[in-house]
Amino acid sequence: MNPVKGVILAVGHWFESFWKGISGQLKASAEDFFMAFVKDDLGQLAIDAVEFIADSMPGATDVEKRNAAVAKFIEDAGKAGKDVTTFAVSTLNWFIETALQAVHSGVGR
C-alpha cells in the first residue's frame, strides 16, 4: 500500500472516531438535559401543560396548541407559587417546545 494512502486512511479513521465521540457526548448531553428538565418543577409543569392540551384540543393547529399550552403553563405555575408572568414570550415558548420534545422522546416518563 502507498504510504501516503495509509496516512490519509489513518487520519480519516481518526476523524471518524473523533466525530463519533463528539456525537456520543452530544447525545449524552441532550439526554442529561432532558432528564434534568423533567425533574425541574417548571419543566414538569410545562410537560403537564403540553400533555393536557394535547388531550383536550386534538383538532387544534400547532400554533393554537402552543398558545394554549403557554397559557396553561402560566396558570399552573402561578398556582404552584412560581411567577412566570415576567418571562419573555420566547422563554415561555422555549419551555413548551422543550416539554413537547421531552414528551415525544418519552424522557422521564
Q: What is the pLDDT of residues 2-61, one digit of tens each?
A: 555 555 666 666 666 656 666 666 666 777 777 888 888 999 999 999 999 999 999 999
Q: Quick check: 62 pLDDT over 80?
A: yes
Would you say 104 and 47 are in contact if contact means Cβ atoms under 8 Å apart?
no
pTM of the model: 0.71
Distance CA 38, CA 98 (A): 10
Q: Where are the domains of the chain?
A: 38-105
